[in-house]
Amino acid sequence: MIELLAGFRDAIARLLSRVDVPLMAALTGLMAVSILVQSSAGDNALHSVLAQSARFVLGSAALLLLANTTPATLRSWTPWIYAGTLSLMPLVFIFGSGRSANLWLDLGVFYLQPGELLKLSVPMMLAWYLHREALPPSWKTLAVSAMIVGFPVLLIVKQPDFGTGMLVAASGGFALFLAGLQWRRILIAIGAAAAAIPIGYQFLMPYQKDRIMVFLNPESAPQGAGWNIIQSKIAIGSGGFSGKGWGESTQAALDFLPEHTTDFAFSVFSEEWGWLGVLLVMALYFFVIARCLWMAMQSKNTYSRLLTGTLALTFFIYIVVNGGMVAGFLPVVGVPMPLISYGGTSAVSLLAGFGLIMSAYSHRKYIGD
Amino acid sequence: MASTIKNTYFEAELFRQRAFVAMLFVTTAMAGLLFGYFNLQVLRFDEYREQADSNRVRLKPTMPARGLIFDRSGRLLTDNVSAYRLELTPEQVEDIDTTLLQLGKLVVLSKDDLRRFRRAMDSSRKFLPITVKLPLSEEEVARFSVNRFRFPGVEVVPYLTRRYLYDDLFAHVIGYVARLDQEDLKAMGDERYSVLTHTGKTGLERAYEEQLRGTIGYEEVETNARGRSLGVLKRHTSQGGTDLKLSIDTDLQKATVAAFGELTGSAVAVDPNTGGVLAMVSLPSFNTNLFVNGISTVDYTALSTDPSRPLFNRNVRGGTPPGSTIKPFVALAGLESGMRRPEDTVYSSGEFFIQGQRRGYRDSHAGGHGTVDLYASIAESVNTYYYRLAMDMGITKFDTYMRRYGFGQPTGIDLIGEIPGTLPSPEWKRKRFNQPWYLGETVIAGIGQGYWVVTPLQLAQGTASLANGGRRIPLRLVQATRTGLNQAWQPLPAPPSTSIGATAAQLQAIRTGMEATMHTRKGTGWMIALGSPYRIAGKTGTVQKISRRGSVSMDPRSLPLHLRHQALFIGYAPAENPTIAVVVVVEHGGYGASTAGPIARKMLDAYLLPKSEAVVPEKPND
């Protein structure tokens, strides 16, 4: 009996030994912040807290599992994972459900958002491909990379989920950047993207055009999206230096703030905890990103390095886009504040991503072929 | 593999450089973000605190006026009248129990009101107002207004309430609206609808809910710190609901109800050419106004436990075996299938036997009708003719034709919950009872007995097909809609009709038989049509309680009590150029010819004769 328990304890210890303690501590801090926000902002606070906690448990399990899988195994599975997640996308168009966009597959138990899985599988596939090629990438490598990223992005934007598509596209850019893409080519790419903006604008959905117009002039639509931004700014600004205190968000309670558990959760947090709270959360986020990039540098093989670096920088984009959006610095894009906003697949896939990163780091001596 | 040799040390170094650049970028961006928040939260704090404190402009949804309902001649049937309700916003009230107690001294709060309030409070959001009572009497409004200062968070709110001008006349046509509950709100899928206090629950009010409801508007309302509104800054007007114009003829509807007297049952009159429903009555009825602002428990219990079932819409949800009224359709199937010609005769001895079986199937006369052709078989309602015809056709072929005439499926009327009825078939019986089909059941299906279930609407649709030259036409209550008082009525597109497949000659034979029913001395409807200035085509029917005839393998318990012993009549007039088709079903009504027929005659008179003759009140002659 005692031996059995001891064996069990050893197994747990082995599993946990793959977890990077400083990174996990920072992530736990962010999850705690999320629970704090959900418990204060929700109308069905208890339900939100329980649901979000369940997702964190599920996500942490995925993290633990992936951290204990060797990068070699992950890498050999990568093309299959990529193909598998990509093939889920057409199902969304056929069976998908969602209020304004077909983003979710109803799995009976919970809704699966295949776009979220692509946030992991696309960087994995790109790292897998670049791992095999000589770096910095040649024009041919660049073209293949563009296809690996472009196809899923097209499908996601078509759903339409502009926010996720943008994040996946950005992850592709980061991977190439970290792979050492020449500065000259980077400048050319940025120039081309800038030139494409007016053309791309034609293809945006009417609601997306509205959002951009609203961003440029919030007063133009005081009841619609503009209202949200105005109210969100009032929430943040009135939080002041030290905040109104937990559960004291008048903006959310009086229903001025829409979506105050999901996309605008960070406004409520800012209102209740003030700039000090924002500083603390940003410090946690900064630590997570810096730690991941440092962990990436320790890796001996290109796959692990690129995957870790790409995921870390994508995580950063989440923060900037959502943090900028709720404060009115950027247009409204449906991107959640990572780990803090209420959301199913997002929280799970983010934690799974950190599982990949921890796997790479804890097996960093592995060189690869 | 690659064009150049892979240099892992170089790649690692390259990554290090890029990671540093990225880190620089991340640091800059996050510092920028932090500065942005610092600007909002610290440098511009006073400005935003001011805005949050004075953030009293709230978007207040405004309720659109619900669409009005008119009859075919533009007579108003349903409208909205202004009323007042008492609302309480839980968030703004410190002690809800005490407040309710105090309010109870100013306005009458019934147990139902309080229970409803508690339930709403449990499930709705704290900052949304909840109705305490509606409607308030003028006296209550006055009393509360004087004491208003004592009740922060409680307000008297004007609203429009539904009024049914004819109380119980259209209960099973228009239906009623009632208080919106949380399930309704969930079904609407939009929280903004919580401003609506009422929603259509039955009848046209439910079927046309979305059109009648209209679009919600917004007011930007300035409120004080406690949320009480101080004034409207800007209005985004709501779009009132769509008005409905029905094909219903109110005079005919009234005449139909009057013709029933104390009897219970249902009647439908339709325009056979358009499918427009002219009258639709299900009796007993109830006063729909009772439901609008919350029916009291006492009233509701009385209605829902009444054995004559006033809440039950007999036309849409009530089924009955068609009895002999199915015979014209069976005869038509005989002609269409080529198994009978009109002149083919059958000998009726008074009892029909299946070869090798002892049990007989009876005619209505003990001695039989002698030798009859198709015309006489309809006029005299000769069972033997139809026993034999159904047996010759077989149940499968029989069902194919009956389905084509519209039986066993909804008519597609613009109401919700229409039942399809039952077309007796071996498959249906196996599924329902897991029993085999017997030949005797085919035989009794021929006279509309046994497992048959038809709705009055199906019979009306079928009768209309005979009258209009063989088109099965979906029935419609709403004829036209308009989006505002100053707008023109837009006729609704005529729903597509399908051919039942019969030729003009075949239909004419049936129509001749149905005219003979009413206008020859031997016809079962002779007494009904006596003295009529126009010609009627019709068919009577009686569904016996539990009769020996045709009950070979029938389980008596398969028929619910209210279906037993019904008197039926179907018909149309004027026979040569029909403008109205009617169906009458009288429960516990004796014979079709003696109770259902005279009601139908009064309906036809009311519709076809000049008003002065029709409105003379008559005693129902039995």
pLDDT one-digit tens code per residue, B200-222: 999 999 999 988 988 877 777 76
- Assess whether B223 and B184 both reside in one domain: yes
pLDDT for B448 equals 92
pLDDT for B207 equals 92
- What distances in angstroms separate CA A99 from CA A96, A264, B62, B190, B346, one per listed residue? 10, 18, 24, 11, 66
- What distances in angstroms separate CA B65 from CA A36, A250, B244, B372, one per listed residue? 43, 33, 13, 62
With an 8 Å Cβ cutoff, are B48 and A234 in contact? yes
- Which pLDDT band holds residue A345 (cuts at 50, 70, 90)? low
Give the residue-averaged pLDDT of B503-524. 94
- Assess whether B115 and B160 both reside in one domain: yes
- Assess whether B189 and B257 both reside in one domain: no
Tell me whether the omega of the peptide bond preceding residue B574 falls within 30 degrees of 0, making it cis: yes
| A98 occurs within a structural domain | yes
Instruction: Nearest by CB to A237, from B5, B41, B58: name it.
Output: B41
Nearest to A313 by CA among A169, A163, A103: A169
**SS3 annotation, A105-172:** EECCCCEECHHHHHHHHHHHHHHHHHHHCCCCCCHHHHHHHHHHHHHHHHHHHHCCCHHHHHHHHHHH
| A18 occurs within a structural domain | no
| B43 occurs within a structural domain | no
| A15 occurs within a structural domain | no
With an 8 Å Cβ cutoff, are B26 and A289 in contact? yes
- Which pLDDT band holds residue B615 (cuts at 50, 70, 90)? very low
CA gap B248, B72 in Å, rounded: 6
Most confidently modeled of A92-96, A301-305, A339-343? Answer: A301-305
pLDDT for A258 equals 59
Structural contact between residues A149 and A125, judged by C-beta atoms closer than 8 angstroms:
no
Instruction: Nearest by CB to B55, from A132, A136, A256: name it.
Output: A256
Percent of chain B at pLDDT > 90 equals 52
Specify the length of chain B in residues. Answer: 622
Count of H helices and E strands in chain A?
14, 2
Percent of chain B at pLDDT > 70 equals 87
pLDDT one-digit tens code per residue, A130-172: 998 887 888 888 899 999 999 999 888 877 677 788 889 999 9
Give the residue-averaged pLDDT of B273-282. 95
More confident residue, B492 or A159: B492
E strand segments, B119-207: 130-133, 154-164, 177-179, 198-200
CA gap B74, A19 in Å, rounded: 78
Catalytic residues of B: 324
Specify the length of chain A in residues. Answer: 369
- Which pLDDT band holds residue A295 (cuts at 50, 70, 90)? very high
Q: Is 70 exceeded by the pLDDT of residue B614?
A: no
Residue B418 is encoded by which pair of tokens?
Answer: 């229409």
Strands in B217-223's sheet, in edge-to-edge order, are: B57-62, B217-223, B229-236
Q: Is 80 exceeded by the pLDDT of residue A25?
A: yes
| A2 occurs within a structural domain | no
Q: Which of B5, B14, B21, B40 to mutate to test the interface with A (most CBs of A within 10 A)?
A: B40
Residue B286 is encoded by which pair of tokens?
Answer: 């109830």
pLDDT for A99 equals 40
- Assess whether B362 and B420 both reside in one domain: yes
Give the residue-averaged pLDDT of A313-341. 88
Min distance B13 CA to chain A CA atoms (Å): 9
Domain span at residue A204 reads 27-362
3-state secondary structure of B304: helix
Min distance B57 CA to chain A CA atoms (Å): 9
- Assess whether B272 and B394 both reside in one domain: yes
CA gap B319, B324 in Å, rounded: 15
With an 8 Å Cβ cutoff, are B22 and A140 in contact? no
Percent of chain A at pLDDT > 70 equals 81
pLDDT for B127 equals 65
Residues of A in contact with B18 (CB under 8 A): 177-180, 309
pTM attached to this predicted model? 0.61
> What's the structural domain count of chain A?
1
Nearest to A120 by CA among A365, A361, A323, A345: A345
Q: Is 80 exceeded by the pLDDT of residue B546?
A: no
B472 membership: H or E segment, kind and range: strand B471-472
pLDDT for B402 equals 95
- Assess whether B257 and B391 both reside in one domain: yes
The overall average pLDDT reported for chain B is 86
- Assess whether B414 and B561 both reside in one domain: yes
CATH code at position B94: 3.90.1310.10
Q: Tell me the pairing of strands B76-88 and B154-164.
A: antiparallel
Structural contact between residues A270 and B41, judged by C-beta atoms closer than 8 angstroms:
yes
Q: Is 60 exceeded by the pLDDT of residue B552?
A: no
> What's the structural domain count of chain B?
2
CA gap B479, B468 in Å, rounded: 19
pLDDT one-digit tens code per residue, B131-147: 888 888 889 999 998 98
- Which pLDDT band holds residue B230 (cuts at 50, 70, 90)? low
CB burial class (10 A; 0-12, 13-18, 19+) of residue A1?
exposed
| B300 occurs within a structural domain | no
Give the torsion sign (CA, B171, B176, B181, B187): positive
Percent of chain A at pLDDT > 90 equals 31
pLDDT for B150 equals 86
More confident residue, B94 or A227: B94
Count of H helices and E strands in chain B?
23, 23
pLDDT one-digit tens code per residue, A200-256: 777 776 666 766 766 666 655 555 556 778 888 888 988 889 888 887 776 665 556
| B30 occurs within a structural domain | no
| A223 occurs within a structural domain | yes
CATH code at position B430: 3.40.710.10
- Which pLDDT band holds residue B555 (cuts at 50, 70, 90)? very low
Give the residue-averaged pLDDT of A339-349. 78
| A179 occurs within a structural domain | yes
Give the residue-averaged pLDDT of B581-606. 87
With an 8 Å Cβ cutoff, are B5 and A134 in contact? yes
The overall average pLDDT reported for chain A is 82
The overall longest dimension of chain B from CA atoms, in Å, is 114
- Which pLDDT band holds residue B194 (cuts at 50, 70, 90)? low
Min distance A43 CA to chain B CA atoms (Å): 7
pLDDT for A109 equals 40
pLDDT for B59 equals 67
Q: Is 90 exceeded by the pLDDT of residue B21?
A: yes
Instruction: Nearest by CB to A241, from B42, B218, B220: name it.
Output: B42
- Assess whether B365 and B240 both reside in one domain: no
Q: Is 80 exceeded by the pLDDT of residue B578?
A: yes
Structural contact between residues A257 and A231, judged by C-beta atoms closer than 8 angstroms:
yes
Q: Which residues contact B585 (CB under 8 A, 6 or more apart)?
A: B265, B266, B267, B314, B318, B320, B456, B566, B567, B568, B596
More confident residue, B159 or A108: B159
| A369 occurs within a structural domain | no
Structural contact between residues B131 and B104, judged by C-beta atoms closer than 8 angstroms:
no
Domain span at residue B460 reads 250-287+313-478+499-614
Q: Is 90 exceeded by the pLDDT of residue A102?
A: no
Q: Is 50 exceeded by the pLDDT of residue B554?
A: no
CA gap A63, A69 in Å, rounded: 10
pLDDT for B7 equals 77
| A22 occurs within a structural domain | no
Residues of B in contact with A309 (CB under 8 A): 15, 18-19, 22
Structural contact between residues B89 and B60, judged by C-beta atoms closer than 8 angstroms:
no
Most confidently modeled of A133-137, B112-116, B296-300, B567-571? Answer: B567-571
- Assess whether B221 and B275 both reside in one domain: no
E strand segments, B149-240: 154-164, 177-179, 198-200, 217-223, 229-236
- Which pLDDT band holds residue B468 (cuts at 50, 70, 90)? very high
CA gap B227, B58 in Å, rounded: 9
Q: Which of B6, B41, B55 to mutate to test the interface with A (most CBs of A within 10 A)?
A: B41
A54 membership: H or E segment, kind and range: helix A45-67
| B303 occurs within a structural domain | no
CA gap B567, B564 in Å, rounded: 10
With an 8 Å Cβ cutoff, are A238 and B45 in contact? yes
With an 8 Å Cβ cutoff, are B22 and A313 in contact? yes
| B52 occurs within a structural domain | no
Most confidently modeled of A241-255, A311-325, B44-58, B115-129? Answer: A311-325
Structural contact between residues A315 and A26, judged by C-beta atoms closer than 8 angstroms:
no
pLDDT for B549 equals 39
Where b means 16+ CB within 10 Å and e means fewer, B498-522 reads eebebeeebbebbbbbbbbbbbbee
- Assess whether B529 and B460 both reside in one domain: yes
- Assess whether B455 and B602 both reside in one domain: yes
| B47 occurs within a structural domain | no
Q: How far apart are the first and last CA of chain A?
A: 44
Q: Is 80 exceeded by the pLDDT of residue B588?
A: no
